[in-house]
Every structure is written in structure tokens, then in C-alpha cells.
Amino acid sequence: EADIYQTPRYLVIGTGKKITLECSQTMGHDKMYWYQQDPGMELHLIHYSYGVNSTEKGDLSSESTVSRIRTEHFPLTLESARPSHTSQYLCASRGRGPNYGYTFGSGTRLTVV
């Protein structure tokens, strides 16, 4: 049973459209992350957050933006989608302490046509 939810699961959208990928977690985790993964390739960190009102860019440059107004919610927005944004976007969260693994959502597979 998932404790972190991503919607939509699949999205096909036209070039130039603005989109927001939703991510919510019910575990009260402070740290949340967005990863981007192309098929068969490794995950790349694009954004993360330590808590409310905290956002940081990850290792892979991304044209997307994120916000963290509530602990449980970490949406990702693309102001103007392009075909190069076609990918899978994975949201994750992590609890405190050294031995807390990440919990990932099921992902949003985005296709920009």
C-alpha cells in the first residue's frame, strides 16, 4: 500500500502547455525529492526539499520548478512543455535518521508531443 502518491500516472500533452505533476506523502517526511528517468537509464535527481519553504536544485539541470508549501505536498511544474521533457518523473520522500530508506511513488510517465 503506497504512502506516497503521484498523479497523473500517465500524461500525454502538447508542446507549450503548462503542466503540474502532483506528489503527496502521508508519512510526515521532511525530505522530498524528484528524480527523472528515461527508459532503461539511471535516475537523475532534479529537485529536493528539506521541508516547508525549502527547495533545492539537484544534479541534473531541469527547466521544471517545484514548491513546498505543505509538508505532505511537493508538486513539480513545467511552464512550457517540450518534447525533450518526455520522461518518467519519480517522486520520493525520506524520514529522519541515518537508516531511513527512500520511499518512491509509482511515477508519472510524461509524453510531450
Q: Which residues bind another protein (CB under 8 A)?
A: 31, 33, 35, 41-45, 48, 50, 56, 58-59, 88, 90-92, 96-99, 101-107, 109
- Mention every residue, 6+ apart, whose C-beta is less than 8 A from residue 66: 34, 47, 49, 55, 74, 75, 76, 77
Q: Minimum Å distance from CB 8 to another protein?
A: 14
Burial 39-50 (b: 16+ CB within 10 A, else e): eeeeebbbbbbe
Among residues 57, 48, 56, 1, the alpha carbon closest in space to that of 29 is found at 48
Q: Which is nearer to another protein, 20 or 106 (CB)?
A: 106
Strand 56-57 relative to strand 65-66, pairing: unpaired
Q: Which is nearer to another protein, 15 or 54 (CB)?
A: 54
Q: Minimum Å distance from CB 15 to another protein?
A: 24
Q: Which is nearer to another protein, 8 or 50 (CB)?
A: 50
Q: Which is nearer to another protein, 84 or 99 (CB)?
A: 99
Q: Minimum Å distance from CB 76 to another protein?
A: 14
